[in-house]
Amino acid sequence: MSNEFNFSIKDYQSDFKPTWCPGCGNFAQWRAIRQALVELEIPPEEVVLVSGIGCSSHMPNFLNVYGLQTVHGRGIPVATGIRLANPELTVLVYGGDGDIYGIGGNHFLHSCRRNVDIITIVSNNFVYGLTTGQASATTPIGTVTRTTPRGSIENPINPIAVAIASGATFVARGFSGDMTQLTNIIKAAIDHRGFAFVDVFSPCITFNKKQTFAYFRDKVMKVEDFGHDKEDFHSAMDLANRRILRNKLPTGIFYQIENTTTYEERDFALNQGIIPAKTDLELSDEQINAITEEFY
Amino acid sequence: MKEDIVVRFVGSAGDGLVSLGLLFGKILKKHNMNVLGFRSYQSVIRGGYNSYQIRFSDKEVLSVGEDADIIVLLNKHVAELHNPLVNSGARVIYDNDNIDLEELEYPEDIIKLSLPSVSIAKEITNIKVIKNSVVFGAISFLLGLDIKLIKEVIVEQYGIKGEEVIKINYEALDKGISFAKEKMWTPIWVKGKYEKARQMIIGGNEALALGMLSAGLKFYSGYPMTPATSIVHFLTKYLPKLGMIVKQTEDELAAVGMAIGAAYCGVRSATSTSGGGFALMTELIGMAGIEEIPLVVINSQRAGPSTGMATKTEQSDLFQVYGASQGEFPKVIIAPKSIDEAFLTGIKALEIAEKYQVVVIVLMDLYLSEQIATVKKLDFKRTNKRYAILEKAPKDYLRYRITETGVTPRTLPGTKEGMFFTGSSERREEGTSIASTLAGLPSTLPIRENMMKKRMRKMDVLLKELPKPEVYGSKDADITIISWGSTSNIVKEAITILNNNGIKANQLHLMYINPFHSEEVLKILKKAKETLCVEQNFSGQMRDYIRMKTGFNIKNSLLRYDGEPIVPSQIVNKVKEVVQNE
Ligand code: SF4
């Protein structure tokens, strides 16, 4: 981090104005991410934001950081490669429920267990927006969408429970209708050592007439308001599986443990302080001898 | 006197054939012999019928040979299965305590050399594998090898295990030799004095990996798939020393995705797989193409389609890699033929990828990936030279500025004021997408056109840098044989045989497949009196590729797709047929 930090939230914004439908939940996240970076004083050149495909995945177009949009569902592995290549960077993944829980589901599982220090933020709107309203992995059973005109007949996944069960060390949920809380969650996620996962209730005002801002406002409840112990695995699971507060939708940090090592701390090169992106290409005589000896 | 010797060890998975083959290779290499070895095996962990064939000579060795001079049968089960593959005149070494060649009806005209290696070893130790040293002793008598040199190899290989192990091995060797002497085996290869040599014996995948390391490979990701996996095994062994990242991923999509992420940060990165995994990687390969991120992908081909024959060789992914991913983008394809070329390819692939910000696909095949061969020396590149990377962002920096060569120097994340957006959609020079709200507007049409031209132009510039194809062999040949990948050295051997038979043949080997020197290749083909394309696939992919690139129709094809490498005699016979029909 640089000594003199004089960036404002505007400095993290590109000249390209967001193309989302006016009123889309993604706008709040666009703001919250920038706000968190400013408050944490992370200069734009040290931030890489990686996305996939979908409405939300357009995000890096609208930011003035190193932004990389991948193909559908592949943000997490590309971000992982970036972080391992240069652990000095703050690496965020941003995508939708279709992108990260659907087509990218396998990477999501493995990033949870792997504990590479990247931050994954999912704009969860329970529907496919960009392809004009089909069922997604989080669409509740019975929901009518363009691919489920008689109502969805599949159970949705529970991303919070999946993340905790898969070994994620930071699991949280935000709501696009609560900027302050969302910003604080993203800040905590960036500060967290290891993989951090934030699911965000983010209404799609065009294709989802059920999970609207009003719907969430009525249902959300902050975990801090009822004294949740975020370090306790079982309380976190109970909360995620709605064994408690059945009629509410809890937001905040469900689960966070700091007393475990990250992938970077376990890796045999990175734990020596090596930064692959800054390493000489040339091998030393000693290295050449080491790698060729077995062939003599 | 024979020019070369072929020894074939026949056993099951679990018999330690690979270490046996490698050790024998090292013994021969110590004698300054040129060696080539290849394992034929099945996708089983225990049992089955496997063989390890080694050919050596003091002359150049270009194929693993056909008929074996010495066959070593390691168990009864394989002795039964191997019977039809025994050629007349072969010396068959077997343990008569458990194998009865009469009962198995082995041909009469072979030379049966019974060697009770298990019971001889038992006189020394209870360690079972010591029987192999008894076998080596007996073979070394047949081949007139220098026991001192063999013992040196034993010390190099087992020294770490302590003096006792060395002593036991020495004793076993000596007993093997005395046994052969006593039974009056006749030596078949007498060279007299051997010169001790320092050379390497190395596998195709390892040579490729060394090439990449030599060019500064610092990130490697992969998902296990035969026959590419040994690259990861090799790199993993040394990674703390190399200060690099080697990452086994959850699938091939993640493997290529991580390599792209690291390359985006300026790290020289690669990933490897075989055809099935490559199919999974293709979407991201296209992304690296449009985002102009340097990427090296190795596809070690095996027999397809689908799972096909997982442990057998083929050259049938040319069109898969050529057509990989939707749309058009610059894509370099390199197919080495030998251990030396694999090493060189490792260097070239990483350099070209970075210099031109393109995807480079290395097409190996199982026969090359898994063969071992001697090389005198590998020339490690000693340079930190980087290409098209900006230390500082210039004032009017545009990541995708249109340039004459098509290459735009890039900033890496962490560089102040060098921030840019890149995405998998078509873009403006600063990087942002023109694919959503701007798509189809009259103002964006030329942007798209210019971006396509910028990217594709890189191939024309690169082509000028690539060596022009050359013909090997006599200028006024009766036939020109075209080949690629591991098949080429087998063709080269066939050419010598043909020349000795009074048929003049020459060869065109194609290592750089895309971009393609169409004009030069056409010139060569037009001059040829007769043409034959030799490759390991069903439909003649290289022949069709050449027709597509040059318009030239290669008249004859020799195709093999049963999973085993083509042998020189097949080529010789085919050429005779072609030339006689003229
Ligand atoms: S379709 Fe829905 S998710 Fe997409 S931009 Fe519009 S409101 Fe947002």
A151-178, pLDDT tens digit by residue?
999 999 999 999 999 999 999 999 999 9
Vertex A230 angle, CA A228 and A233, to 5°: 110
Atom of ligand 1 nearest to the CA of A26: 8
Alpha helices in B504-567 (DSSP H): 518-527, 541-550
**Quick one: A273 and A173 in the same domain?**
no
pLDDT at A266: 96
Smallest CA separation from ligand 1 atom 1, residue:
A129
Residue B177 has pLDDT above 80, yes or no: yes
Q: Which residue has the higher pLDDT, B217 or A246?
A: B217
Determine the distance separating the centroid of ligand 1 and the alpha carbon of A82, expressed in angstroms. Answer: 28
Q: Is A21 close to ligand 1, i.e. is its CB under 6 Å away?
A: yes
**Quick one: A209 and A295 in the same domain?**
no
Q: Which pLDDT band holds residue B347 (cuts at 50, 70, 90)? A: very high
pLDDT at B482: 98
pLDDT at B582: 67
By Cβ distance, the residue of A19, A44, A71 closest to B287 is A71
Q: Is A212 close to ligand 1, i.e. is its CB under 6 Å away?
A: no
**Quick one: A279 and A255 in the same domain?**
no
Q: Is A20 close to ligand 1, i.e. is its CB under 6 Å away?
A: yes
Determine the distance separating the centroid of ligand 1 and the alpha carbon of A23, expressed in angstroms. Answer: 8
Determine the distance separating the centroid of ligand 1 and the alpha carbon of A104, expressed in angstroms. Answer: 20
**Quick one: A141 and A128 in the same domain?**
yes
Smallest CA separation from ligand 1 atom 6, residue:
A21
Q: How far is the alpha carbon of B224 from chain A, nearest alpha carbon, in Å?
A: 16
**Quick one: A240 and A290 in the same domain?**
no
Atom of ligand 1 nearest to the CA of A123: 3
Q: Which pLDDT band holds residue B381 (cuts at 50, 70, 90)? A: confident
Domain membership flag for residue A91: yes
Q: Which of A69, A76, A99, A130 to mutate to test the interface with B (most CBs of B within 10 A)?
A: A69
Q: What would the mean pLDDT of B477-481 be, rounded to a whole number?
A: 97
Determine whether the interchain pair B240/A269 forms a contact, defined as Cβ–Cβ distance below 8 Å. yes
Determine the distance separating the centroid of ligand 1 and the alpha carbon of A22, expressed in angstroms. Answer: 8
Q: What would the mean pLDDT of B466-482 be, rounded to a whole number?
A: 96
Q: Is A60 close to ligand 1, i.e. is its CB under 6 Å away?
A: no
Q: How far is the alpha carbon of B430 from chain A, nearest alpha carbon, in Å?
A: 11
Residue A2 has pLDDT above 70, yes or no: no
Q: What would the mean pLDDT of B457-485 be, rounded to a whole number?
A: 97
Q: Which of A99, A116, A283 to mutate to test the interface with B (most CBs of B within 10 A)?
A: A283
Which residues, in sequence order, are CB contacts of A250 under 8 Å at separation 6+? A173, A220, A221, A222, A223, A228, A239
Which residues, in sequence order, are CB contacts of B19 under 8 Å at separation 6+? none
Tell me whether A14 touches chain B (CB under 8 Å). Answer: yes
pLDDT at B321: 98
Residue B1 has pLDDT above 70, yes or no: no
Domain membership flag for residue A99: yes
User: Which A-chain residues 152-191 have CB contacts (< 8 A) with chain B?
Assistant: none
Residue B448 has pLDDT above 70, yes or no: yes
B201 neighbors B26 (Cβ within 8 angstroms): yes
Distance between CA atoms of residues B6 and B53, nearest Å: 7
What are the residue ranges of CATH 3.40.920.10 in chain B?
Answer: 4-197
Domain membership flag for residue A174: yes
Determine whether the interchain pair A14/B247 forms a contact, defined as Cβ–Cβ distance below 8 Å. no
By Cβ distance, the residue of A65, A268, A291 closest to B210 is A291
Smallest CA separation from ligand 1 atom 2, residue:
A204
Q: How far is the alpha carbon of A272 from chain B, nearest alpha carbon, in Å?
A: 8
pLDDT at B145: 93
pLDDT at B563: 95
Domains in chain A, number: 2
B506 neighbors B480 (Cβ within 8 angstroms): yes
Q: Is A165 close to ligand 1, i.e. is its CB under 6 Å away?
A: no
**Quick one: A281 and A248 in the same domain?**
no
**Averaged pLDDT of chain B:** 94
Q: Which of B156, B158, B218 to mutate to test the interface with A (most CBs of A within 10 A)?
A: B218
Domain range for A145: 9-260
By Cβ distance, the residue of A61, A73, A110 closest to B421 is A61
Residue A12 has pLDDT above 70, yes or no: yes
Q: Which of B486, B487, B480, B422 is nearest to B455 (CA)?
A: B422
* DSSP designation for B491: H
Site to probe by mutation for ligand 1, drawn from A29, A138, A207 as the one with most ligand atoms within 8 Å of Cβ, is A207
pLDDT at B82: 86
Q: Is A55 close to ligand 1, i.e. is its CB under 6 Å away?
A: yes
Tens of pLDDT, residues B255-305: 999 999 999 999 999 999 999 999 999 999 999 999 999 999 999 999 999
Atom of ligand 1 nearest to the CA of A202: 3
Q: Which of B383, B369, B356, B395 is nearest to B302 (CA)?
A: B369
Q: What would the mean pLDDT of A65-84 be, rounded to a whole number?
A: 98
pTM of the model: 0.96
A-chain CB neighbours of B291 within 8 Å are: 68
pLDDT at A1: 47
Determine whether the interchain pair A88/B414 forms a contact, defined as Cβ–Cβ distance below 8 Å. yes
Token readout for A223 is 């975990």
B417: three-class secondary structure by DSSP: coil
Determine whether the interchain pair A70/B287 forms a contact, defined as Cβ–Cβ distance below 8 Å. yes
Q: What would the mean pLDDT of B96-124 be, rounded to a whole number?
A: 92
Distance between CA atoms of residues B507 and B495, nearest Å: 8
Q: Which pLDDT band holds residue B16 (cuts at 50, 70, 90)? A: confident
Determine whether the interchain pair B423/A60 forms a contact, defined as Cβ–Cβ distance below 8 Å. yes
Residue A3 has pLDDT above 70, yes or no: no
Determine the distance separating the centroid of ligand 1 and the alpha carbon of B421, expressed in angstroms. Answer: 21
Domain membership flag for residue A3: no
**Quick one: A127 and A273 in the same domain?**
no
Chain center to CA of B374? 13
Q: Up-side HSE of residue A245: CA atoms within 13 Å toward CB?
A: 20
DSSP element (H, E) containing B286? helix B275-291
**Quick one: A273 and A255 in the same domain?**
no
Q: Angle, nearest 10°, between helix axes A179-191 and A26-39?
A: 50
Which residues, in sequence order, are CB contacts of B569 under 8 Å at separation 6+? B66, B494, B497
Burial class (CB in 10 A: 0-12, 13-18, 19+), B572: buried
A142 neighbors A210 (Cβ within 8 angstroms): no
What are the residue ranges of CATH 3.40.50.920 in chain B?
Answer: 471-580
Q: How far is the alpha carbon of A152 from chain B, nearest alpha carbon, in Å?
A: 29
Determine whether the interchain pair B262/A85 forms a contact, defined as Cβ–Cβ distance below 8 Å. yes
Architecture of the structural domain at B202-376: 3-Layer(aba) Sandwich (3.40)
Place of tokens 């960009």: A130
Q: Give the number of other CB atoms < 10 A from CB of residue B232.
A: 23
Pick the CATH number of B471-580 from 3.40.50.300, 1.10.287.620, 3.40.50.920, 3.40.30.10: 3.40.50.920
Q: What would the mean pLDDT of B375-383 be, rounded to a whole number?
A: 89
**Quick one: A225 and A272 in the same domain?**
no
* Amino acid sitting at position B422: T
Q: Up-side HSE of residue B521: CA atoms within 13 Å toward CB?
A: 28
pLDDT at B102: 87
The CATH number linked to A165 is: 3.40.50.970
**Quick one: A242 and A292 in the same domain?**
no
Atom of ligand 1 nearest to the CA of A56: 3
B-chain CB neighbours of A274 within 8 Å are: 243
B-chain CB neighbours of A76 within 8 Å are: 254, 257
Task: Give me the CATH topology for the region B4-197.
Answer: Pyruvate-ferredoxin Oxidoreductase; domain 3 (3.40.920)
B136 neighbors B143 (Cβ within 8 angstroms): no
Q: What would the mean pLDDT of A226-239 be, rounded to a whole number?
A: 95
**Quick one: A186 and A134 in the same domain?**
yes
**Quick one: A95 and A132 in the same domain?**
yes
B-chain CB neighbours of A86 within 8 Å are: 265, 267, 413-414
